[in-house]
Structure 1
Amino acid sequence: MNKNGPVALLFNALVIGFMLAPILVVCVIAFTPENTLTIHGPELSLRWFKAVFDYPDFVSSFWNSLWLGLAAATIATVLAVPAGMALVRYPNRWSGWLQGLFLSPLIIPHLVLGVALLRLFTLVGGAGSFAWLILAHALVVTPYTMRLVMSALVGFDRSAEHAALSLGASRATVFLRITLPMILPGITGGWLLAFINSFDEVTMSIFVTSPSTVTLPVRMYMYATESIDPMMAAVSALMVAVTAGAMVILDRVYGLDRVLVGRS
């Protein structure tokens, strides 16, 4: 047995505990019956969750974030599938440059993106539009989908495709009946990862939302600037639940270990 094994295990446990402790504390505080951010012994209450659903701004912002995440993830997937197939299967001297272009939103700070997109939307008359907000989120989350699609295509055995083509199948039929089902886990995983990142996005969204298109993270930020009470903890707990549920589905569909490899 490795003598350093227990030490490494303890170190990993401390790191995981350090990362999860704030989330667990917030989730516990969400059930407090008090009016302050305190952990009130064994007594639990759902009063702050009820307050969240009775607060119309949070409800409307949640639906904005939900529809925004669904639309942005879908657009990102539609763009990432053909782009990823072209980069993996037809490499040329421009492939590295194009891949860097598609993945550049991962490198550019979202604060810079928010300011740039705000200026762009103002120039084209799209400021405050939900459609332009969807495009902004699609721009940010496309790299996550593309990485997983490209990972699914790397090492892809194309013998079944060649056999179908030799038997007279069209390229569209080959893609729909052979290629798509074989890379579907990667596409689904990329879509879910894009949805999670869109749903949680706040830095860029602050600049490109309008009063009618405020997302839930932005609404939480605005609420926190005015007051801090357990309702914020309840909203945070609900967001953690939605994100955790999506991550569980992602792990079942694609595997979190493969997602981390695809993002590296």
Structure 2
Amino acid sequence: MAKNGPLALSFHALVVLFMLAPLTVVCLVAFTPENTLSLPWHGFSLRWFKAVFERADFIQSFYNSLILAVVAATLATLIAVPAALAITRCRFPGRNLLNGLFLSPVIIPHLVLGVAMLRLFALMGVNGSFVWLMFAHVVVITPYILRLVIAAAIGVDRSAEQAAESLGAGRFTLFRQITLPMILPGVAGGWLLAFINSFDEVTLSIFVTSPSTQTLPVRMYVYATESIDPMMAAVSALVIALTAATMIILDRVYGLDRVLVGRH
């Protein structure tokens, strides 16, 4: 065991380095004073961050993505929590089918989902609608919340619930005061993963957005096809900073170990 310690540590260090190296390079390129995607060998500059905030289309796309991610993650949570409790605590015909249906968007490629929803929305005459774009994101991100809430619900000691129920607590009171606090780390972790996945979603969004509902990842994709300059690195650095800040806040409030495992 001791002999494998340094080897295992070196392996994990290499994995972390492999994951962080591209992000580090992108963040460094964002500070370059040059007009090309090069490292800031000749000093650091904020010119590309300033350029981002001067682009009204990027600002609007950011707000679109932020509102979309918050609302979609919240709606998906409202769907996933009761579904997870029903799947883990009830026995009914079609239970496994319901579980598979909720988790199917993880298996189906987002390209296929995007084409299918594009066709569906065209038939319904709702192409470019922000509401239906939100619906598409809810479908895609619900499985992330469902899995964490299921893990949290399975690990809950139900003796407290049974005691409260024996004392006359109603179903809503029981859920609000006993069940929800115990599964809250799983719910919070699921919401966070759903938010990040919705905010970063590009493959599906390309098919179902319009110029007025264009999200930030789609705007970045379109811009990258037109021009290659460090402004894309600046936008990416801002997105990385936003994600890191969200993770730090969640860690301070709940603790990432509790959130990601979905247990106390």
Deviation at 1:252, TM superposition (A): 4.3
Partner of 1:214: 214
Q: Partner of 1:39 in structure 2?
A: 39
**Structure-2 residue corresponding to 1:197:** 197
Q: TM-score, normalised by structure 1?
A: 0.94
Does the 8 A contact of 1:35 with 1:230 survive in 2?
yes
Q: Which consecutive residues of structure 2, in runs of 5 or more, have no partner in the other structure?
A: none
Report the counterpart of residue 126 of structure 2 in structure 1.
Answer: 126
Deviation string 1:180-205 (CA, Å, 9 cap, x unpaired) is: 12211211111111001000000100
Partner residue of 1:164? 164
Distance 1:204 1:94, change over 3 A: same
Sequence identity, in percent? 69
**Counterpart code for 1:218:** V
- Aligned residue pairs total 262
Question: How well do the aligned residues superpose, as a CA RMSD in angstroms?
Answer: 1.7
Residues 27 and 237 in structure 1, CA contact (< 8 A), matched pair in contact too: yes
Which residue does the alignment assign to 1:136? 136
2: CA distance between counterparts of 1:203 and 1:188?
A: 25
Q: Does the 8 Å CA contact 1:196/1:246 hold for their aligned counterparts?
A: no
* Residues 42-191 of structure 1 mapped to structure 2, 5 A cutoff: 43-191=43-191
User: CA deviation digits over 1:56-95, x for unaligned, max 9?
Assistant: 1110000000000001100100000110000000034522
The worse-fitting range, judged by mean Cα deviation, of 42-51 and 88-97 is: 88-97
Write out the 4+ residue segments of structure 1 that deviate beyond 3 Å after TM superposition.
249-262
Structure-2-length-normalised TM-score: 0.94
Structure 2 match to 1:5: 5
Counterpart contact for 1:30–1:237, Cα < 8 Å: yes
Partners of 2:181 and 2:88 lie apart in 1 by 18
* Structure 1 residue ranges without an equivalent (≥5): none
Tell me the amino acid that sits aligned with residue 32 of structure 2.
T
